[in-house]
Amino acid sequence: MSISLFKGTDVERLRRASQAAAGTLAFVASKLTPGVTTADIDQWVREDTARRGGKPSQLGFKGYPATVCTSRNHIVCHGIPNAGEQLVRGDIINVDVTTCLDGFHGDTSATFLIGEVSEDARRIVDVARRCRDAGIAVVRHGARLGDIGAAIEELAKKEGCSVVEEFGGHGIGHQMHGPPTVPHTGKRGSGIKLRSGMVLTVEPMVNLGRPDIRILADGWTVVTEDGSLSAQFEHTILVTPDGCEVLTQPELALSLEIAC
C-alpha cells in the first residue's frame, strides 16, 4: 500500500479543490427547502461546480449516475438523486459533494434538518457531527489510524448510537479514493502511523439504532437494516506535525437547520 504524502504546491491545489467542494455544499445548503427534489440538488451541484472551474468527482465513478449523493432519513449513504424524491418538513438529508479541480479532489458532506424535526432526528445529526470532530481531534503525525475510529466509536456508544463499519474514510488527492481506508471503529494504538502530508477523509456514518445495513436493488443506496435514522458529516484533512488542517472547512459556518 503506497500512501501519498503531499507538500508545497500540491497542498495548495488540494486546498483549492477542497474549498471549491465546501463552497458548493454551502451553496446547496442555502437553497434547501421543502418541495426541493434531490434531482434539483444534483443540478445545483453540477452548475455550481462548473462555475468554480471544477468537475463533480462522483459522476461516473464506478458507474455512479449522479454528481452528488443525497441520503435522506434512514439512507446511510450513496443515495441517488431522483426527480420524484421531494424534501418535506421533518426530513434530515446528507449532501455529499466531491470536486475535482486542477487534478486534485476535495470531499465534504453535512446532514441538514428540514424545518421542525423530531428529537431523535436532531440527536442523531448532533452526534454524527461530534463523532466526525472527535475523530479529527486525534489526527496528528505519529498517531495511529485506529485512534480515529476508536474516538468516533467511543463517543457514539456513549450517546447510545452505533457506527456503520462497512464504509469508512479514505485517502484522497490525485484520486478521489485511495489508500489508506479510514475505519470509523477501532482500537487505539492500532493501524498504520499517520505521517505529515497524508490527506484523508473522516466521514463517520452514525445510526440511531443498530449498525446493520443493506444495499438496495439499484446497487448503490445503502439503508439502515432496522429503518432507524442515520446521519453523516465529512471533512478532508491534511495531517500536520502537531495536528491537522481541515481543508474543507467552510469560510462561514454552515447552518444545518433549514428554516421553513
User: For residue range 207-241, what is the model confidence (pLDDT) as tens digits?
Assistant: 999 999 999 999 999 999 999 999 999 999 999 99
260: pLDDT confidence band, cut at 50, 70 and 90?
confident
Please answer whether residues 114 and 70 qualify as being in contact, where contact means their C-beta atoms are separated by less than 8 angstroms: no
| Cα atoms in the Cβ-side hemisphere of radius 13 Å centred on 194 | 32
User: CA-CA distances (angstroms) from residue 6 to 9, 64, 66?
Assistant: 9, 28, 29
Taking alpha carbons only, the member of 204, 117, 219 closest to residue 159 is 204
Mean pLDDT of the chain: 97
What percentage of residues in the chain have a pLDDT greater than 70?
A: 100
Interacting residues of 205 by C-beta distance below 8 A, sequence separation 6+? 76, 77, 128, 163, 164, 167, 184, 230, 231, 232
Q: Which residues contact 23 (CB under 8 A, 6 or more apart)?
A: 48, 52, 250, 251
Cell output for 103? 487534478
Q: Is 1's pLDDT higher than 90?
A: no
